[in-house]
Amino acid sequence: MEEPRVSRYALVFIFMTIFVDMTGLGMIIPVLPKLIAQLTHVRLGDAATYGAWLIFAYAGMQFLCAPAIGNLSDRFGRRPVLILALVAIGIDYTITALAPTIAWLFVARVLSGAAGASYTTANAYIADVTPPEKRAQSFGLIGAAFGLAFVVGPAMGGIIGQYGVRLPFFVSAAIAFANALFGIFVLKESLAKENRRKFELWRANPLGALVALRRFPYVLPLCIVIVLIRLAHDANPATWTYYTMLKFHWTTAEVGYSLMGVGAVTAIAYGWLTRLVIPRIGEVRSIYIGLAAGAMGFAGFAFSAAGWQMYAWMLAFALMALAMPALNAILSQEVGPDEQGELQGAITSIGSLTSIGAPLLMSYLFAWFTGPKAPVYFPGAAFLAASLCLVLAALVFGWVKPRPINEPKASPSAAESQA
């Protein structure tokens, strides 16, 4: 009777951790451009360049450090790493709120990226406390927290930001510290001492983590699927605002409402649909359906002739939420309990690297196909490219043919002996 209770409380805390983290990030989105302009004394348009480099610093540090964070959680447990990550996030927001120069904003972003973001260890925690057949639904909570936070966060940031451009950062810091304190009192360690392993520096970097996971036959090919999904997903933040303003002449408010719509349907899909569909049809079918629906959604965005059609295609796009939790569940069963942190660190690192390149690629496609040298004027080029990425991801996944969740896996030594 005790174990389900522990797991339930753990999952509530994990959900709140990700929600708080992402809400804090969403809160600062409306006011960050003004803070950058205030510190650099440049016009708002030029502040975007600094904003892009801040994103690059965060994603770059996350790419480098996420495997180390994952490996540390395999050595010392999930609880201390997760709580320290929350403290680091709180310090990040505090530095940002007090920053006297733009250089301090970069210090804060580097610190936040180095912490690996809390969802690296959060995913490992989920793998610890849930059985394999229920992991996809639990991983769906992470996506639900992301979606819900990006509905609540920007709205709160816009309201609070009216009373001071730095105030949302102070509020975000307070929320992060409060959640860390909450974790100290309620969060129990999920990784048993017998399942811990020593920290090895050679594995605590992006290349070393991938090399260490190479002995598991399905992991690296499935990482290619993750890269393609992330490439597709990042078409939205990279081009949505520009696309809808150019093609449909949306105002800033209309863009904001549409992004709230995307966040809402995504949160519902991750939080409710994954728990309803994946247990009934299994992880493999869920991935195919998610990739197919996502491809349809992005293609629909690309060819929409009116603004209301963007809302209609959000419903197909939301079904893509079935893919990542199911894929994460399949990946989590490939490694042992002492390597879940390393696996999630490698996945986070791959995602961070993709987040560095994808916005540049998708933005370039949008700029090229709306520019004077384009062979054909097509503002939806980035969305169509995202759709093709998901089609390719489905083909790669079909080529890999991973085992269903309940099928026992061969140990790496057995696989090597058969080879």
Q: What is the mean pLDDT of residues 261-265?
A: 87
What pLDDT, on a 0 to 100 scale, did the predictor assign at position 408?
A: 45
**pLDDT of amino acid 419:** 38
Q: What is the pLDDT of residues 180-189, one digit of tens each?
A: 888 888 888 8
Residue 15: per-residue pLDDT: 81
The predicted pLDDT at position 381 comes to 93
The pLDDT confidence band at residue 348, using thresholds 50, 70 and 90, is: confident
Q: What is the pLDDT of residues 27-75, one digit of tens each?
A: 766 677 778 888 888 765 566 567 767 877 887 887 788 778 887 888 8
CA distance to 33, 162, 165, 295, 368, per residue, from 96 (Å): 13, 18, 11, 38, 35
**What was the pLDDT predicted at 9?**
67
* Average of per-residue pLDDT across 349-374: 80
Residue 217 has pLDDT above 60, yes or no: yes
Tokens of 154: 């920007």
SS (H, E, C) the chain: CHHHHHHHHHHHHHHHHHHHHHHHHHHHCCCHHHHHHHHHCCCHHHHHHHHHHHHHHHHHHHHHHHHHHHHHHHHHCHHHHHHHHHHHHHHHHHHHHHCCCHHHHHHHHHHHHHCCCCHHHHHHHHHHHCCHHHHHHHHHHHHHHHHHHHHHHHHHHHHHHHHCCCHHHHHHHHHHHHHHHHHHHHCCCCCCHHHCCCCCHHHCCHHHHHHHHCCCCCHHHHHHHHHHHHHHHCHHHHHHHHHHHHHHCCCHHHHHHHHHHHHHHHHHHHHHHHHHHHHHHCHHHHHHHHHHHHHHHHHHHHHCCCHHHHHHHHHHHHHHHHHHHHHHHHHHCCCCCCCHHHHHHHHHHHHHHHHHHHHHHHHHHHHHHCCCCCCCCCCCHHHHHHHHHHHHHHHHHHHHCCCCCCCCCCCHHHHHHHC
- 370 closest CA partner among 252, 256, 235, 239: 239
Whether 5 has a pLDDT exceeding 50, the answer reads no
pLDDT at 405: 60
Gap between the Cα atoms of 179 and 386, Å rounded: 36
pLDDT of residue 2: 41
Distances (CA, A) of 17 to 22, 116, 125, 263, 346: 9, 14, 12, 18, 21
pLDDT of residue 47: 67
* pLDDT value, residue 414: 41
**Least confident interval from 74-83, 256-265, 326-335, 343-352:** 343-352
Which residue did the predictor score with more confidence, 372 or 356?
A: 372
Q: Enumerate domains of the chain plus CATH numbers.
A: 1-187 (1.20.1250.20), 209-406 (1.20.1250.20)
Average pLDDT, the chain: 80
Name the pLDDT band for 204 (thresholds 50, 70, 90): low
Position with higher pLDDT, 63 vs 304 = 304
